[in-house]
Amino acid sequence: MEPSFCVLAARSIKPDVNIHLLLQQIFNEFKIEDKIHAILRGGAMDTGSHSIWCQAHILTLAVSDGFKQIDGFTELINRVKDFIRRIKKQQSLLRDFPQINSFLEISERDLFKGNEVRWNSCYEMLNLLVSSMNSVNILAMDNEKLPFFSLVDWTMMEHLTKILRPIYNAISFLQKRTSSVGYIIPLMKAIELDLIIQPVALEFPRVRAAIVNGIKCRMGGWEDEAVLIIPTLLDPYFKMTLFPVEKHMQYKDYLIFEIRKQCPPIILHQNEFGSISTTTTNESNPFKRVKNYLSGNTSLSNESISPPVLDERFQIFSEVEEYLTSPTETEFHDVASYWKNKTTQTKYPHLTELFLKFCCAPATSSESERLFSTVNSTLGAMRKGLSGEHLEQLVFCRHNILINGFF
């Protein structure tokens, strides 16, 4: 039992293009049932279906807002790039100072002059430089061609790495395939805690505030987005703990409404010992009347001994109430492992169905971006007989086959 998703080979789609409408046309043409729950994209929100921003994209834009608050930041980054670029070209320095061999891990693309550096690559460069501060200072003093970093520069770099580390760790976590949209709100709260409420670094308050405000502005209205709220509620480690008390009833109603809209009613029979047995209303037994007739039981006598049927609305309310009021999990685990448990599925059958629907979308579009990168790196001068579009189709089809476990 796994929430399923597919990666679309959709390159350079304009923000105002309705992806859901395009897919519906394909579904209608091939007579495929439309089961789209959400569309994750790095652009705008107007897709016709519930859509979610790529969280890595949101965090990247928010960090850019923070960098704009730092005077001299661009000049400092250019000197850092120049230093690493020169070091990588001088193998003798790398032999004399093995501590700085980690600079080889920096991509050449990020070191090009005039090339804008992604903030996560920026963090990696600053972090490597700060961790090798003594070696870097010795090299700069012995080699006039290398950029020199003052105490003010080192202080700025050290504070920036502290501020960026929680966001860097958050994106690394979100880019895992097992990270669903249910982790977006918890990580947003965690970043706010690390930067504002209990800051990991007291310096650069304007930078920290700009990053948090950038996240909030781009996530505006999430408090009323069931597509984000419900996956968070279905994480047994959090449930309602991240939300204000005045929102609890509203979010409980979200669960009840979605269950009644999506799930087939499950009739629960209460027997004399208090245990509960379940039968689905859409699975009738055509042989039951025949068996009762042949055994001498009339339909009246059969009904008279049937245990009382609990009202469907009460079933759903009781299930949701029991789940939300039970203690949260004390250890953090992958949310899927909780809902795969047979005991959990028996105890919360409606919520299990809700998990499969609302936790299907990943938190970022990283898988799609990696596949496009694979295609770009595969197409070379020796593969002129293979078109880019054909290769994209092959790569994305294979990837989706593996995701959905066909092999």
Q: Please report the DSSP string for 73-140 in residue order.
A: HHHHHHHHHHHHHHHHH-HHHHHH-GGGGGGGGS-GGGGSTTPPPPHHHHHHHHHHHHHTHHHHHHHH
Residue 280: what pLDDT?
A: 45
Highest mean predicted confidence (pLDDT) among 28-37, 170-179, 201-210, 279-288: 201-210
* Average pLDDT value for residue range 378-401: 75
Shortest CA distance to 39 belongs to which of 23, 55, 50?
A: 50
* Average pLDDT value for residue range 331-356: 89
Q: What is the β-pairing status of strands 39-41 and 266-270?
A: unpaired
Residue 170: what pLDDT?
A: 87
400 pLDDT band, cuts 50/70/90, is confident
Q: What does the radius of gyration of the chain's CA atoms come to, in whole angstroms?
A: 28
Query: Does position 352 have pLDDT exceeding 50, yes or no?
Result: yes
Q: Write down the H helix ranges in 307-359.
A: 312-325, 335-340, 342-347, 349-358
3-state DSSP assignment of residue 317? helix
Highest mean predicted confidence (pLDDT) among 126-135, 235-244, 269-278, 330-339: 235-244
Whether residue 362 contacts residue 184, with contact meaning beta carbons closer than 8 Å, is answered with no
Query: Does position 259 have pLDDT exceeding 50, yes or no?
Result: yes
Region of poorest pLDDT, from 89-98, 136-145, 331-340, 357-366: 89-98
Query: Does position 279 have pLDDT exceeding 80, yes or no?
Result: no
Residue 127: what pLDDT?
A: 86
144 pLDDT band, cuts 50/70/90, is confident
Looking at per-residue pLDDT, the higher value among 176 and 302 belongs to: 176
Shortest CA distance to 348 belongs to which of 333, 248, 340?
A: 340
Residue 295: what pLDDT?
A: 47
Q: How far apart are the first and last CA of the chain?
A: 16
CA dist 184 and 98 (Å) reads 39
Residue 276: what pLDDT?
A: 43
Classify 131 in phi/psi space as left (phi over 0), alpha (psi -120 to 50) or beta: alpha
* Average pLDDT value for residue range 377-406: 74
CA dihedral 54, 56, 59, 63 (to 10 degrees): -130
Residue 291: what pLDDT?
A: 38
CA dist 348 and 339 (Å) reads 9
CA dist 212 and 195 (Å) reads 8
What's CA 55's distance to the chain center, in Å?
A: 7
Looking at per-residue pLDDT, the higher value among 196 and 8 belongs to: 196
* Average pLDDT value for residue range 267-288: 45
CA dist 344 and 351 (Å) reads 9
Query: Does position 347 have pLDDT exceeding 90, yes or no?
Result: yes
Average pLDDT, the chain: 77
110 pLDDT band, cuts 50/70/90, is very low
**Greatest extent of the chain over all pairs of C-alpha atoms, in Å:** 104
